A and B are shown apart, each in its own frame.
Chain A
Amino acid sequence: METRVGMYRAQVRVRYFEKAAYDLFLQNLVKGTSHLATGQEAIAAGVSAALRPDDYVFATYRGHAHAILRGAPMPAVLAELMGRETGLMGGKGGSMHLTYVANNFMGSYAIVGAHLTIANGTAWSAQYRGTDQVTVAFFGDGTTNIGAFHEALNLAATWKLPVIFVCENNLYMEYTPISEVTAVPRPAADRASAYGLAPVAIDGNDADVVYATALEAVLRARSGDGPSLIEAVTYRHGGHSRADPGKYRPDSEVAEWLAKDPIPRLRDRLLSVGVDASLLDRIDTEARSEVDQAREEAKAAPLADPAGVERQVFADGGAQWRR
């Protein structure tokens, strides 16, 4: 029960965070672009609940949720979005590259597919070093049609790597439905057999299902039985990115998925098994005030200092290319 309440808290924290990020955009305090996970929280929450603190996680440019749920400090994440000196990466990465290596959150990657191959590397390293650490790589449905996806799956299966590939299939790549440009109905699951893996497609808006599926894959990876590919079907409440109002989606489809919002779903279920409403209300209040506090902290922080712009290109801390 503690895990399920934890997954509820995780989703609520992400929901409020994404709302704050969106509002800060409207106030022009967040620049560039940003890709929100509103509506998709159950996948990050369910998978994270199945992991150990020393496991490795890779996310995409839609990675705020994964960063926060792997323990990246919320004020630093918001500060990164806002280009502040106190940002998670000092303002050098921005929304699409959130990374928190202190907790083995190995980064958010903005070139579709690349990080699946990199996730193999941390998994290979764990295998070589003889630890039982597991690696998880989250990715979107669009990734299933890029070469790196197939290279990564083949190598992971061939080397029996302890890695779990989690497809967050929200039905649209950017603006085009994934079904219109993919040869098979289930973009990830229907590719699994090509790499000797079981086809796994689940309801990604059900945190309980995500958790149970992830747990099985984690056990498999940890015990040396190799990779898994999970396709979790979900839906983003908003558009692809800040610039996208998502008007290409039929109203009826949006309404249908709003009714499947993972947060009220888990809340109702928890209430039905006797969890006290006041506990869930308190979680809501705490999450809101955590986000409020993080936002005020980030707003008060100074802009990223240009004095640091030539730092950290190389391991000596600088950018010196000549001598």
Chain B
Amino acid sequence: MTYRDAVAAGLAQEMARDASVVLIGEDVGAAGGVFKATVGLLDKFGPTRVRDTPISEQAILGAAMGAAMTGLRPVAELMFADFLSVGHDLVVNQIAKARYMTNGQITLPLVVRFGNGGGLRFGAQHSQSVEGWLMAVPGLKVVVPSTPADVIGLMAAAVRDDDPVMFLEEKALYSTSEEVPDGEHVDELGTARIRRSGSDVTIVALGTMVHRALGAAEQLAATGTDCEVIDLRSLVPLDVSSVAASVNKTGRLFTVEENPRLCGWGAEVASIIAEECFYDLDSPIRRITAPHIPLPAADSLEDATIPSVDRIVESVRRGLG
């Protein structure tokens, strides 16, 4: 099953189980989504549960928030993650803070889906990795699946969670494919996965970068460096203990981030590990990120910006000295 079909499968699994789960967004119904990630849901669940909206990000997010306050479990699609900026107030000031400001009177079991990240040559306003923007706001959970099976399982966990979950689908992965579990599949938020075990180096990655880190680990293995690759899967909750346990074993930590350099999630991971695992470390922590620039459109420029397998290999080699 492809990553894009897994989105629809995960949503269908939850919508079939629970009539309070509803889906809204631009083009999610008749069109099946601009990323074709909601194909078939309108036919299966009808127009009261799968509802097209105008291009009104604030109205979409506000509707989801109000519905979540009053017994529904809405899933809102914002299409390109960059459009978060147009609805930022609703996410940052309203959705994230409602429970805290009301001392727990308001509960918001909602999911916002985004098409996140680059790799498709869409340029600076349709390719950003916005996980860092979201991670910085108290009150949000932030999930970034890297495989079709995780899309289904984490989507189910997100829909069932009583907190607002920002669900970042990686645009570059929509066409990737793998076998997924039969029957109902429900995963757990806040749990990292070891995608490759290794003893020399820990590489922590997220979303699309997990696959590049795995590619790099293969090349590094050929020259005798045994890498452990951890797929973080969610930034909030952040599975610190899995990373710490790995660093405890390898003594070396690299992060691979698609986001621009400053304040990327890897900086937080690096600071936690530096504070809490300092005496386990054999070398400085190194972050492999995009440079601190807007993402350019041209193939050659975008490829030079987002960390590639070769760049990860080279950075790890350099880090090992």
Q: Which residues of A contact B (CB under 8 A)?
A: 56, 89-90, 92-93, 97, 99-102, 106-107, 109, 111, 113-126, 128-129, 135, 147-148, 151-152, 154-155, 158-159, 311-315, 317, 319-323
Contacts and interface: CB of A to CB of B under 8 A. Distances in A.
Contacts of B59: 117, 120, 148, 151-152, 154-155
B66 A122 contact: yes
B139 interface: yes
Contact of B65 (A97, A121, A123, A159): A121
Interface stretch (B169-177, B234-242, B249-257, B279-287): B234-242
A313 B141 CA distance: 11
A120 B109 CA distance: 17
A101 B90 contact: no
Closest 10 CB pairs of A and B: A121-B66, A117-B62, A315-B162, A151-B59, A151-B56, A312-B104, A90-B103, A101-B105, A125-B70, A122-B66
B104 A121 contact: no
23 contacts: A97-B102, A99-B102, A114-B93, A114-B94, A118-B63, A118-B94, A120-B62, A121-B69, A124-B63, A125-B67, A128-B22, A129-B70, A147-B58, A154-B54, A154-B56, A155-B53, A155-B56, A312-B100, A315-B162, A317-B104, A322-B240, A322-B272, A323-B240
Contacts, number: 161
A21 B292 CA distance: 49
Contacts of B61: 117
Given A125-B66, A125-B71, A117 B100 contact: no
Interface residues of B, number: 51
Given A56-B70, A111-B94, A126-B70, A313 B62 contact: no
Contacts of A322: 237-240, 272
A313 B105 contact: no
Nearest to B135: A321
B54 A323 contact: no
A120 B22 CA distance: 15
Nearest to A91: B103
Given A155-B54, A321-B237, A322-B237, A122 B67 contact: yes
Nearest to A319: B138
Contacts of B54: 151, 154-155, 158
Interface in B88-135: 89-90, 93-94, 98-107, 109
B223 interface: no
Interface in B32-90: 48, 51, 53-54, 56, 58-59, 61-72, 74, 89-90
Contacts of B48: 128
B231 interface: no
B58 A121 contact: no
Contacts of B64: 121
A157 B168 CA distance: 31
B102 A121 contact: no
Nearest to A112: B89
Given A92-B100, A314-B163, A315-B163, A118 B66 contact: yes
B215 interface: no
A311 B236 CA distance: 17
A314 B99 CA distance: 7
Contacts of A158: 54
A322 B241 CA distance: 9
B198 interface: no
Nearest to A109: B94
Nearest to B107: A315
A116 B109 CA distance: 20
Interface string B267-292: 00000100000000000000000000
A109 B90 CA distance: 11
B62 A89 contact: no
A70 B224 CA distance: 70
A216 B72 CA distance: 28
B101 A117 contact: no
B103 A129 contact: no
Nearest to B62: A117
A77 to B, nearest CB: 13
Nearest to A154: B54
Contacts of A56: 70
A121 B105 contact: no
B190 interface: yes
A152 B69 CA distance: 17
B106 A107 contact: yes
A321 B137 CA distance: 11
Contacts of A313: 99-100, 138-139
A164 to B, nearest CB: 14
B320 to A, nearest CB: 28
Contacts of A129: 70-72
